[in-house]
Amino acid sequence: MINRSPPVVRQRRPGLWLGTFEAMKSPCEVCVECADENQAHVLVEQAANEAWRIEEKFSRFLPESVIGRINRATGWQPVDEETMALLKLADTCWQATDGLIDITIGAVMCLWRFDGQSPPPPRHVVAEARKSVGWDKVELRTDAVRLKEGVQLDFGGIGKEYAVDRVGMQLLQALPKGGVLVNFGGDVLAARSKKDGQPWHIGVETLVGQEKQSGLALVTGAVATSGDTKRFAVDGKGQRLGHVLNPKTGWPVPHGPATVTVVGGTATQAGLLATCAMLQGKYAGDFLAREGVRHYIQWPK
């Protein structure tokens, strides 16, 4: 179990409540429009519980999580419906992106330190770990999964966005009328527009020293960002290496964007597309233009 601080609820303006809490190592926010303060508290608590539930269930860092159990096991592991649905999504993504999105990246991911100063791991170490990467080393049945030896699943690339969508859907059900916005560390779902029809304003994080962007206006829809302005490694020449790894090499794609922000229908979908774009390197913009989605790219200085 993780020690959690209870969520904090504040009134932003009459009838608009902002709840904040921590989950998945990110600051999380939910905005709900309702008259009653008690109801706002109940809704925020429900949102926090759902986010924490997903974190505890799918974090690869928690040995008691479903993913921790699957990663340790040998042979077939029975899995519940929700896990299976996520594994099926991972399967579809892997096929649709020709292997660019691969949740078995875990074995390589843990070699990197993206703290803004650490060097990349030695090449031969990455190459060795790469042997345990590959969705084709995972077998799925209708209610069970089996990993080849050494393979580690990591829902890090999907989990947070999935949590945003789930929390958004739950709040919609719990609150029949009124605006709902979910923002987990920059992955955002505007699940329902505000009562006055005005769009939600979503800030986009910027690189230090770069011109500040005005942010995004969104009536409904989702925004997800891949890449991080603070999380990167530095190679021998002082070059930034972003924290999105190419599963086929185990290395970040060179000359790629610092961050990619994509607008979509759900946070999960936008997040997956943003990750794909990061892996296109300098062609990220062309790629997103071809997919016909609203997007914002920040390039490193």
Partner 1 sequence: MQLNKKLGLAVASLLVSTQGHADDWLVDSGMLLYSETDSEGQDRVSVVEPVVIATKEYDTNDFFRYTVVFDALTGASPNGAPALTVSQEFPGFVVAAGETPLDNGFEDQRLAMGVVRGKPFDHGASRYEMGANFSVERDYLSLGSSLLVAKDSADKQTTVSGSLGLSFDVISPRGGLRPEFGSIFDTVTAPSGRFTLKDDDDDEDEDGYEDDDDFLEGEKKLTLEGLIGISHVLNQYTVLSANYGLSLSNGYLSDPYKVVALLDTNGRAEDYLWEKRPDKRVRQTLAGKMVTALGEHSLHLSYRYFRDDWGIASHTGDMEFYLRAGDKWQLRPHLRYSRQSAADFYVPYLAASDDLPTYASSDYRLGGLTTATAGMKIIYHLPDDRRISLNLEQVKQNPDSWDGLTLNSEWIAEGPPSVTFYAITIGYRTKW
Binding site for partner 1 (CB under 8 A): 76, 78, 81-82, 85-86, 88-89, 92-93, 96-97, 139, 141-144, 162, 165-166, 169, 264-266, 268-269, 272-273, 276, 290-293
Task: With H, G, I as helix, E, B as strand and everything else as coil, classify residue 230.
Answer: coil
Of the pair 61, 76, the CB lying nearest partner 1 is at 76
Of the pair 72, 290, the CB lying nearest partner 1 is at 290
> In the bound complex, what is the minimum distance in angstroms from residue 142's beta carbon to partner 1?
3
Read off φ and ψ for residue 190, nearest 5 degrees.
-90, 95
CA distance 199 to 190: 9
> In the bound complex, what is the minimum distance in angstroms from residue 267's beta carbon to partner 1?
9
- Contact between 166 and 52 under an 8 Å Cβ cutoff? The reply is no
> In the bound complex, what is the minimum distance in angstroms from residue 90's beta carbon to partner 1?
9
> In the bound complex, what is the minimum distance in angstroms from residue 14's beta carbon to partner 1?
32
Look up residue 54 and give its amino acid: I
> In the bound complex, what is the minimum distance in angstroms from residue 86's beta carbon to partner 1?
7
Strand partners, 259: 227, 298
How far is residue 88 from each of residues 58, 135, 247, measured CA to CA in Å?
15, 11, 18
How far is residue 54 from each of residues 48, 50, 61, 98, measured CA to CA in Å?
10, 6, 13, 27
Of the pair 74, 142, the CB lying nearest partner 1 is at 142
> In the bound complex, what is the minimum distance in angstroms from residue 211's beta carbon to partner 1?
28
Of the pair 143, 286, the CB lying nearest partner 1 is at 143
Of the pair 154, 241, the CB lying nearest partner 1 is at 154
Of the pair 90, 126, the CB lying nearest partner 1 is at 90
In the numeric block, the tokens 């990110």 are attached to: 26
CA distance 129 to 279: 19
∠ CA 138-140-141, nearest 5°, is 155
> In the bound complex, what is the minimum distance in angstroms from residue 108's beta carbon to partner 1?
23
Of the pair 162, 296, the CB lying nearest partner 1 is at 162
CA distance 226 to 259: 6
In the numeric block, the tokens 């345990």 are attached to: 132
Which H helix or E strand runs over 81?
Answer: helix 81-96
